[in-house]
Structure 1
Amino acid sequence: MKNDFEIRTTSLSASNKTLTGYVIKWNSRSHVLWDEFVEQFAPKAFNTSLEMGADIRALYEHDPINLLGRTTSGTLQLAEDAIGLRFKLTPPDTQLGHDVLTLVERGD
């Protein structure tokens, strides 16, 4: 089972070295991906993966070398709510983790 996702929303904030926001918002169309299609997710779309305890990873630039957190270690928490799939991420105490926090804090 592939567990790749990307953050496509502007509701992202950094405080106390933690990132929070939404991976997706329900029934909201994505931008056009690869000039081919758009994505739209219905509520509860991720129930099965979340209930199974899948090892979902937060990656920088989709690169497995650039691991920011994972559900199995508790550094990535995911939950569905009325708005969408919400996340809370505690990046690693590494240069990459510091860089990501700085970029988010600056609004980049």
Structure 2
Amino acid sequence: MNDKEKRGNHISAEVRAQEGEDGKRKIVGYAVKWNELSNPIFGLFREQFERGAFQKWLSDPNNKVIASWQHRLHEVLGRRPKTLEVYEDDIGLRYEIDPPSWADKYVETIERGDVDGSSFIFIPTVEEWDETQDMAIRTIKEAQLHEVSPVTYPAYSQSTSDVRGADGEFRSADKVFEKFKNSKEDYSADLAMKKKKLELLEKI
């Protein structure tokens, strides 16, 4: 099983509050936008999500996804499928939260623009790597979604100066890149061995 990973966007109005049909305020935002390359993740690689990456996971109503405030699990804002809606559209992975009344103060901070970032926790299940560019590019083709969260400082935001608790997140990113490099080395070694066997057979 792959480890959980955390990513985020820090774009103005990425998260906002809006009034629903029932007159109640909702928290809405995009956790990720399709095929948009991230800035370098701790200088190791860049990353993008392919459209449909979460479709398989979201199609099963038994797969739970929660929304929390600042990734604090004791402050749950919503849970799929009742008080949290998560779906894919042409832009990216969108979420809509029906927050509880005690979260009114948090909704206000979003309305004021004090909190304008989104972050999410996922487990990649299918990915591709491209090393033909100056920096390796990781494309997530399929993933499990476990949590979305309005945050002040998204993990791996547009600038690493915004990162908080970066040490643990660097180790996570480093582990991802190391796993890719190791798998590539194993593949190259296997290919070299097969080539050597073929050369020996040709001499017989």
Same fold (TM over 0.5): yes
- Describe the shift of the 1:51–1:91 C-alpha distance in structure 2 as closer, same or farther (beyond 3 A): same
| Amino acid aligned to 2:47 | E
Offset from partner CA, 1:57-85 (integer Å, 9 cap, x none): 0111222111111113x211011111101
Structure 1 position 31, deviation (Å): 4.4
SS at match of 2:29: strand
- After TM superposition, the score normalised by the length of structure 1 is 0.79
Structure 1 position 43, deviation (Å): 0.1
Residue 106 of structure 2 corresponds to residue 103 of structure 1: no
Residue 35 of structure 2 corresponds to residue 27 of structure 1: yes
Equivalents in 1 of 2:15, 2:67: separation in Å?
14
Give unmatched runs, 5+ long, in structure 2.
Answer: 20-24, 115-204
Matched-pair contact (CA < 8 Å) for 1:58–1:70: yes
Q: How does 1:88-99 map to 2 (within 5 A)?
A: 88-94=96-102, 97-99=103-105
Larger strand fraction of residues: 2
The percent identity for this pair of structures is 33
Equivalents in 2 of 1:4, 1:59: separation in Å?
16
Q: Give 1 or 2 for the bigger CA radius of gyration.
A: 2
- Number of aligned residues: 104
Structure 1 position 46, deviation (Å): 0.2
Equivalents in 2 of 1:49, 1:3: separation in Å?
15
Structure 1 position 26, deviation (Å): 0.3
- Describe the shift of the 1:51–1:5 C-alpha distance in structure 2 as closer, same or farther (beyond 3 A): farther
Give unmatched runs, 5+ long, in structure 1.
Answer: none
CA-based RMSD:
2.4
Pick from 46, 49, 54: which aligns with 2:57?
A: 49
Find the counterpart in structure 1 of residue 18 from structure 2. Answer: 15
Structure 1 position 7, deviation (Å): 5.2
Find the counterpart in structure 2 of residue 59 from structure 1. Answer: 68
Matched-pair contact (CA < 8 Å) for 1:60–1:66: yes
Equivalents in 2 of 1:56, 1:102: separation in Å?
24
Larger helix fraction of residues: 2
Structure 1 position 48, deviation (Å): 1.3
Equivalents in 1 of 2:100, 2:26: separation in Å?
10
Q: How does 1:77-88 map to 2 (within 5 A)?
A: 77-88=85-96
- After TM superposition, the score normalised by the length of structure 2 is 0.45
